[in-house]
Chain A
Amino acid sequence: MLRYIIKRILLLIPILLGVSAIIFALKTFTPGDPARQILGNDATETQIQEKRAELGLNDPVPVQYFRYIGGVVQGDFGNSYRTGEPVLSEILPRLAVSARITLGAVAMGAIIGIFMGILSALKKYTWVDSLVLVISMFFQSVPEFVVALVLIMIFAVNMHFLPATGIDTPAGYILPMCCIGLSSVASYTRITRSSMLEVLGEDYIRTARAKGQTENNITIHHALRNAMIPVAQSIGTSLGNSIGGAMVLETVFGVPGVGKYITDAITQRNYPSVLGGALIIAIILTIINLLVDISFVLIDPRLKTTIIAPGKDKKRSLKKAVA
């Protein structure tokens, strides 16, 4: 188990190198001079040259890249072009805000989605089933910011019930969470539904029925627990999507989270902040996926051999089991 975890964490290294290389390449292609951007238009040529030397912009790009990587290894993600503050210390407090929103949203999406999935599996091929699928698909297919605008119009502008922007009060978290959460309901519903349908056709369910178990007991204890494995895996993907969704929604709601930080940094071409943000998001996503894989083993000990020491055939059977 420990070896597996270490191996997975080591796999993070090439991914992070790749991510930083992509954004470094984008930075290099960006027109305009960061030094001029920092100093403003009325800076003299010598001032700009000094600043360029200070930022190390005169060095060849590979040298800049490896210097940056060297810094990252020591926990130095560079300084923001805009404020001059270290990127890491700017991001960390925002991370807490984003984490609250994203986790709340994923929890909300998962609870609603799993509930709706069970409902539609139990009532398969009835109007309840179709209705549930259509509703969940609606929220998946509509861009989150449009849902956000409509919810703002209803709850903030017309009913004055919730704040339209900001997170000065805890109530400010509700709308952003709803918007991100609703968009992921559909995938949970679908996965829960198909996985439940599959499990409900298993022999042990028939056996449980034959023993005279109540339907509720069968649904909750026998079917649901076994049907949760693919659902748990999709939480990882859904967290990734939610982080992407949070980038837009934090801007819409004016929430000071990582998403808004990166969006602002992108529009201001503040590349150290973009780079730092992207790397931190990539690290978080990888760790989440690792945790999800470990949680599999906790949910279903049978998977221990397939996840941790997968041979070729075993891997295929896991994929089959998950799909």
Chain B
Amino acid sequence: MAKMHTPAMEAIEKRNAKRKKPIKSTPTSESWKRFKRNPTALIGLVVVCILILIAIFAPLIAPYDYQVQNYLAMMQKPSLQHFFGTDQFGRDIFSRVIYGTRYSLLIALFCTLAALFSGGLLGIIAGYFGGVVDTVIMRIMDVFQSIPMIMMAMCIVAVLGNGIPQLVAAIMFASMPTMARNNRAAILRVRGNDYIESSEAIGVGQVRMIIKHMIPNAVGVMIIYFVGFLAVSIMMMSSMSYIGVGLAAPTPEWGLILNDGKAYLTSAPYMMLFPAMMIMITCFAFNLMGDGLRDAFDPRLK
């Protein structure tokens, strides 16, 4: 067919000729464009970036050591010396909250990575091989899923004891069924595509198929789960620490700081207010960002 020459086409060609670089439109750049247009998602992204900076530069921002006890300054109200006040041991709450960012984000990252690798692997295997493998894996996951997630995690911490690696293991196991289910769905969607069939036809090996063809095409959806799960693991971690099954003192994790202030809720509410705000802001920001990512990577899911 001959090239069309309508006035509109000519206008477009003229405009393109003016640009020095040709317009490149990849799925990723399209996603980023959609993400940029979403104001709430951008707010989430900015807050998350600020939190990451706080976590990295915690020693520079925090005026005091997070575990030094100062018995001359116990239970002080927020002031210029202690922005968020001090706790019953005279520890500066502002410094604890700042270091808490580092601990909470890092632990959440570990939990999410662990969950993604374990549950994700199971899901990918189930989704790729299908048949009996799929049935067996998913039925086992069904059993795991009929125990509420937080209860499962609490049981595991009760067995292993309080501590960071134990908590990571607990949240990993508890979230495995959800992760497996999500990743399986992502793989199943990719699996139906024609390019998978043609790769199969030219004899691409199974491992290569999964790593080279399936995961890269499912990665957008996986990123969505990844960011969403960061918020979930912060929620679970702080809830568990708050009721005393999770991390051990004096780790400056937000849930634990709240647990420290529990007894002084009526006399010194400021001890709990600031860590609680921090948890709220963090979880909300991650969710805003995750939601924006979902809309950007996968407009159909909206």
User: Which positions in A face B, CB cutoff 8 Å?
Assistant: 14-15, 18-19, 22-23, 26, 29-31, 130, 134, 137-138, 140-146, 149-150, 152-153, 157, 164, 194, 240-241, 243-245, 247-248, 251-252, 262-263, 266-267, 269, 274, 278, 281-282, 285-286
The interface residues of chain B, by DSSP majority, are classed as helix
Known contacts A134-B40, A267-B245; A152 and B239 CB within 8 A of each other: no
CB of B231 within 8 Å of the partner chain: yes
The answer for the CA separation of A256 and B142 in the assembled complex, in Å, is 29
Known contacts A14-B143, A22-B143, A194-B302; A244 and B148 CB within 8 A of each other: yes
**Interface size of B by Cβ–Cβ distance < 8 Å?**
43
The interface residues of chain A, by DSSP majority, are classed as helix
CB of B266 within 8 Å of the partner chain: yes
> Please, which residues of chain A bring their CB within 8 A of the CB of B142?
15
**A222 shortest CB reach to chain B, Å:** 24
- What are 29 A-B interface contacts by the 8 Å CB criterion? A14-B139, A14-B143, A15-B142, A18-B143, A18-B146, A23-B155, A26-B159, A30-B158, A30-B159, A137-B287, A143-B235, A143-B239, A145-B242, A149-B258, A149-B265, A152-B265, A153-B272, A240-B148, A244-B151, A247-B151, A252-B243, A266-B155, A266-B158, A267-B245, A269-B158, A274-B155, A281-B148, A282-B147, A286-B146
* Residue ID in chain A nearest B290 by CB atoms: A141
CB of B89 within 8 Å of the partner chain: no
> Please, which residues of chain B bring their CB within 8 A of the CB of A141?
231, 235, 283-284, 286-288
Contacting pair A262 B151 (CB below 8 A) = yes
Among listed B29-37, B209-217, B273-281, interface-contacting one: B273-281
CB of B144 within 8 Å of the partner chain: yes
Shortest 5 CB-CB distances between A and B: which pairs? A18-B143, A244-B148, A141-B287, A143-B235, A282-B146
The answer for the CA separation of A26 and B158 in the assembled complex, in Å, is 9
> Please, which residues of chain A bring their CB within 8 A of the CB of B140?
18
CB of B59 within 8 Å of the partner chain: no
Contacting pair B279 A143 (CB below 8 A) = yes
The answer for the CA separation of A14 and B40 in the assembled complex, in Å, is 44
* Residue ID in chain A nearest B228 by CB atoms: A141
Contact of B151 among A140, A267, A278 (CB under 8 A): A278
Contact of B279 among A23, A30, A142, A278 (CB under 8 A): A142
> Please, which residues of chain A bring their CB within 8 A of the CB of B272?
149, 153
